[in-house]
Amino acid sequence: MITLQHIIDGDNVTGTSETLFDIYDPSTGKITKQIQGASANDVQKAIKVANEKLASWSQVTASKRAQIMFNYRDLIIKHTDELAKLISQDHGKTFADAKGEVGRGLEVVEYCTAINNHLKSDFSADVSTGIDSYNLRQPIGVCAGIVPFNFPAMVPMWMYPVAIACGNTFVLKLSEKVPSCGLRLTELMHEAGLPNGVLNTVVGDKEAVDEILTNDAVRAISFVGSTPVGEYIYHKGSSHNKRVQALCGAKNHMIVMPDADLEQSSDAIIGAAYGSAGERCMAISVVVAVGDETAEDLIQSLMPKIKSLKIGAYNEPEVEMGPVISKQSQEKILSYIEAGINEGAELRVDGRSETKRDGFFVGGCLFDNVTSNMSIYTDEIFGPVLSVLRVSSYDEALTLVNDHEFGNGTAIFTRDGDTARHFTSHVKVGMVGVNIPIPVPVAMHSFGGWKRSLFGGSSIHGMEGVRFYTQLKTITSRWPSGIRKGAQFHFESGKDA
Ligand code: NAD
């Protein structure tokens, strides 16, 4: 049994909460690691250290901060296999998928190597005679990140590299289900040259989170996770005067038009619905087929592919889909499958026999003739369960997407440019794919949903991330050698000069 520890001020620290967290190998169902959770007191210490280091770190030049990001980039590349293995061991996703996740996090670090450029300010000369105006983007202070289980490396890397490159210090609260990779990534930041105390990483639950939400020294909080928890974090953090961004749950629809390339659409659905066992916030969980013929042809193409998915542990050869994260998650998914059957949907592929294996497996499931009032349609299941809805027109499909409470990602598959253009313009969703099933924005763009998939309005990484982790200062200056006008009692504008 491996015992993990928190990292505060560069030291490995044993937690003092009363909860001992078990970390499982989801492919066997066995406990492999443990960590004594971080108490409110432990988190307080992490925040105190981060606050003490703020003055010195925020004075380090952007070029030096960028140099550490260059070093970090090299270390992540060097340790990619090790990091991916840690992800797969705790989470269960395939090794190839875990490596892909590390690669996506790495791109954010690479974006941060150019932080001097991203922090570059605007300067306006002579806004009035002899008066200049310019902007500074300055660090906001101690920032915190609260992250979910499903991307143990990528989601933390959406946050702390950007915040730290902008001159802030950071407290990272990892998911208690998958902490190994986040802890190793913290060690590598120190190896890259980050001074102790700039990044402090703890593992805990509500007790740890509540300290972050209420501690006066924390100025900005990034949360990624489920909608009920995100809504709580957004409201509580905001009421304690913190800047909060909460990226939350999803139900991502893919519209398949009658003119779409059927095989391309079907392959895209297989990867997007069943990759990572459906445990992605950008997974496709709903297919809206326009026309009965489209629906039937698509389902005929999907069924054999779903039935032949290679399911297994992350390190088995050619495995395509791993287990889900926990026994509770497996049970929740099974209860939704029961609900779907009871509500009248047609289960055309039943993957429940996979639950007989050791570990937390659920095979790929496909529901046909799903309607918008069924719980398998309204709720986020977060497992390998795909619902097909049949509609008779594009307008009906668009209305479904727009009426759903979530608005994280969506996609349309079509050969028709007019339809695609109408869709990208009128759909009420934050991230949209055209013949791309999982349109996750790359690091220089920003990631974020609409509606109840995002609270706080600010997307993550890219320039939105830089804006979130900085505060804007605008300076207007006149030097004594400028023109003297005597006292002015009215608001001046450039036109008065
Ligand atoms: P979760 O909401 O259960 O947990 C997220 C984080 O909040 C964890 O660190 C957890 O320890 C903490 N937490 C849990 N319960 C809490 C409580 N009562 N009070 C305070 N903190 C609490 O989410 P999860 O199960 O780890 O992750 C899956 C969810 O995350 C899905 O809903 C998925 O859609 C969402 N997600 C969203 C995005 C996005 O960008 N929109 C990305 C990845 C995952």
199/7 Cα distance (integer angstroms): 8
In a mutational test of the pocket of ligand 1, which residue from 155, 159, 205, 410 has the highest number of ligand atoms less than 8 Å from its CB? Answer: 205
Q: Please write the tens of the pLDDT for every residue from 74-130.
A: 999 999 999 999 999 999 999 999 999 999 999 999 999 999 999 999 999 999 988
Reading phi first (left if > 0) and then psi (alpha if -120 to 50, else beta), residue 53 is in alpha
Indicate which atom in ligand 1 lies nearest the CA of residue 447: 40
Cβ of 150 less than 6 Å from ligand 1: yes
What separation in Å is there between the alpha carbon of 229 and the centre of ligand 1?
Answer: 7
Q: CA 99 from chain center: how many Å?
A: 16
Q: Is 70 exceeded by the pLDDT of residue 367?
A: yes
Question: What's residue 354's pLDDT?
Answer: 96
What separation in Å is there between the alpha carbon of 245 and the centre of ligand 1?
Answer: 13
Question: What's residue 497's pLDDT?
Answer: 61
Q: Is 60 exceeded by the pLDDT of residue 204?
A: yes
Question: What's residue 175's pLDDT?
Answer: 98
Q: Is 90 exceeded by the pLDDT of residue 31?
A: yes
What separation in Å is there between the alpha carbon of 227 and the centre of ligand 1?
Answer: 8
Taking CA atoms only, the protein residue closest to ligand 1 atom 12 is: 205
Q: What is the mean pLDDT of residues 457-485?
A: 90
| Residue indicated by tokens 């608005």 | 407
- Average pLDDT taken over every residue of the chain: 96
228/379 Cα distance (integer angstroms): 12
Cβ of 423 less than 6 Å from ligand 1: no
Cβ of 144 less than 6 Å from ligand 1: no
Taking CA atoms only, the protein residue closest to ligand 1 atom 19 is: 206
Cβ of 247 less than 6 Å from ligand 1: yes
Instruction: Report, in angstroms and rounded to the nearest whole number, the Rg of the chain calculated over CA atoms.
Output: 25
Cβ of 229 less than 6 Å from ligand 1: yes
Cβ of 166 less than 6 Å from ligand 1: no
Cβ of 43 less than 6 Å from ligand 1: no
Residue 482's pLDDT band, with cuts at 50, 70 and 90, is low
Q: Please write the tens of the pLDDT for every residue from 232-271.
A: 999 999 999 999 999 999 999 999 999 999 999 999 999 9
Report the relative pairing of strands 169-174 and 199-203 from DSSP bridges: parallel
Indicate which atom in ligand 1 lies nearest the CA of residue 454: 41
Q: What is the mean pLDDT of residues 427-442?
A: 97
Question: What's residue 483's pLDDT?
Answer: 64
Is 281 annotated in the active site? Answer: yes
Cβ of 281 less than 6 Å from ligand 1: yes
Q: Please write the tens of the pLDDT for every residue from 388-425.
A: 999 999 999 999 999 999 999 999 999 999 999 999 99
Q: Is 90 exceeded by the pLDDT of residue 2?
A: yes
Q: What is the mean pLDDT of residues 190-206?
A: 98
| DSSP per-residue codes, 64-100 | HHHHHHHHHHHHHHHTHHHHHHHHHHHH---HHHHHH
What separation in Å is there between the alpha carbon of 223 and the centre of ligand 1?
Answer: 8
Taking CA atoms only, the protein residue closest to ligand 1 atom 24 is: 148
Taking CA atoms only, the protein residue closest to ligand 1 atom 42 is: 281
Catalytic option among 112, 143, 181, 281: 281
Cβ of 471 less than 6 Å from ligand 1: no
Taking CA atoms only, the protein residue closest to ligand 1 atom 36 is: 225
What separation in Å is there between the alpha carbon of 412 and the centre of ligand 1?
Answer: 27
Question: What's residue 492's pLDDT?
Answer: 74
Q: What is the mean pLDDT of residues 294-309?
A: 98
Residue 484's pLDDT band, with cuts at 50, 70 and 90, is low
Domains belonging to the chain, first-starting first, are: 2-248+453-474 (3.40.605.10), 252-434 (3.40.309.10)
289/239 Cα distance (integer angstroms): 43
335/330 Cα distance (integer angstroms): 9
Q: Is 70 exceeded by the pLDDT of residue 198?
A: yes
Cβ of 460 less than 6 Å from ligand 1: no
What separation in Å is there between the alpha carbon of 410 and the centre of ligand 1?
Answer: 20
Residue 350's pLDDT band, with cuts at 50, 70 and 90, is very high
What separation in Å is there between the alpha carbon of 224 and the centre of ligand 1?
Answer: 6
Q: Are 24 and 326 in contact (CB under 8 A)?
A: yes
What separation in Å is there between the alpha carbon of 247 and the centre of ligand 1?
Answer: 9
Report the relative pairing of strands 2-3 and 6-8 from DSSP bridges: unpaired
Question: What's residue 488's pLDDT?
Answer: 78
Strand order in the sheet with 243-247: 11-13, 6-8, 199-203, 169-174, 142-146, 218-224, 243-247, 454-455
- Give the tokens for residue 201: 């990483």
Indicate which atom in ligand 1 lies nearest the CA of residue 151: 43
